[in-house]
Amino acid sequence: MLKRILTVLLCALLLPAQAEETAPATLINTPGRESCGKPNCFWETEMDFRNEEAMWAMLTAPMTVVDGNFRAQADVFAEPDENSKVIADVTRSTQGVHVLETLDNGWTKIELYSSSFSGSPVKAYNVLTTGYIQTELLREVEVRTEFALIVDKLTQRLYIYQDGKLFDELLVSTGLPTKKDPENETRSGEYLLYSATGGFWSGELLCNYGIRYNDGDLIHEVPHIPRESGAYYGRTEPLLGQRASHGCIRVQRKRTENGVNMRWIWNNMKDKMKTRLIIWEDWQGRQIAIPDAETPLYYNPKGGKDYHDSPTCYGVTDKYEPMTAFSWGELETDAYKKLKVCVYCNPPLREAAIAEINAAYADTPAHPAGTPHWRTLIESK
């Protein structure tokens, strides 16, 4: 798994917008659009999950939050004046902000992804915003340094770091916004895991191992419908690897070769609140790189229907392991073209699947680079 993570999946550019509808003139690879000059700042760190040293330095650096109840939001103003327009919401205690300038008049200029939820008078859903907040509300907090998490909305993957190393990855489903419910978009930015909520209901769906990180947003196991015959995941599990939720982050339950899934995250992090969670924005113009043709893959020649990223996999019976190797470049040949991607170990996608994703994120006149992809989704429906 680790070899494949480090060599295959993503060389993606994040292109920040100067305003919600305006593409930037310069292509850069950082979450924010402004500079504070501080080392290891999330907003100014290049988005390359393979760079373990840079990622770990960023993931374990102190974080600036707004003081207060973690189930409440604070106002962000257009000007350093309480009488000016409120342009964004920021969740207290758990959401990080980018401190740009501390003024002499008791105000601080900040950058953030607005955490407006359903019912908020501020309809700024996941909008990258620069505004002002009272300086006295801000505090710098230390984060835990055993684990850290990165979710990339482009790849729909969760990358798990442990003790400075990239340890594993899991499939996720982030929010699927619609014209009716644009607030379903998962809010990007930097957050702290803050409350081990456990199982909760969403309609008829049971969501296990929930950990709250941004007011109404939680990271949890992919939901299921409880039945007398057992848990039914058929409505939600096939959607992992693509947008599907109402804003929460649904996480894979099937174990990787390292034994990792959402239950593993729960068992290892439920007592480690203030672990950092990063969510990267999937701006229009970002692209997934095509894997090297020599990237090793594996399959069971005795009737196996899936291809895998290592010789062993939780989805394969022991007697068929170790599996037989072939290369990613051979996937479309007759011997392998009918194999499906394994949903346990998450090997690289086929070239056609990557091309389909990249086409959806292409820089076009209608949806130029730097446009929020969720807006593209809404306008296309």
Q: What is the pLDDT of residue 16?
A: 35
**Residues with pLDDT less than 50, the chain:** 2-28
On whether the CB atoms of residues 126 and 374 are closer than 8 A, the answer is: yes
3-class DSSP state of 242: coil
Render pLDDT for 347-359 as a digit per residue (tens, 0 to 9): 999 999 999 999 9
Pairing verdict, β 340-341 and 306-307: parallel
What residue type is assigned to position 22 of the chain? T
Render pLDDT for 130-179 as a digit per residue (tens, 0 to 9): 999 999 999 999 999 999 999 999 999 999 999 999 999 999 999 999 99
CA–CA distance, 294 with 327 (Å, rounded to integer): 5
Q: What is the pLDDT of residue 381?
A: 62
Nearest-CA neighbor of 246 among 324, 318, 182? 182
Number of folded domains in the chain? 1
Domain assignment of residue 282, yes or no: no
Q: Tell me the average pLDDT of the chain.
A: 92
Domain assignment of residue 302, yes or no: yes
Domain assignment of residue 327, yes or no: yes
Q: What is the pLDDT of residue 354?
A: 98
Nearest-CA neighbor of 154 among 17, 9, 260, 45? 9
Q: What is the pLDDT of residue 25?
A: 33
- Sign of the Cα pseudo-torsion (44, 358, 180, 158, in order): negative
Q: What is the pLDDT of residue 376?
A: 85
CA–CA distance, 373 with 381 (Å, rounded to integer): 13
Domain assignment of residue 237, yes or no: no
3-class DSSP state of 188: coil
The domain in which residue 342 lies consists of 296-347
Domain assignment of residue 66, yes or no: no
Domain assignment of residue 328, yes or no: yes
Domain assignment of residue 312, yes or no: yes
pTM of the model as a whole: 0.92
Domain assignment of residue 206, yes or no: no
Q: What is the pLDDT of residue 30?
A: 77
Q: What is the pLDDT of residue 81?
A: 98
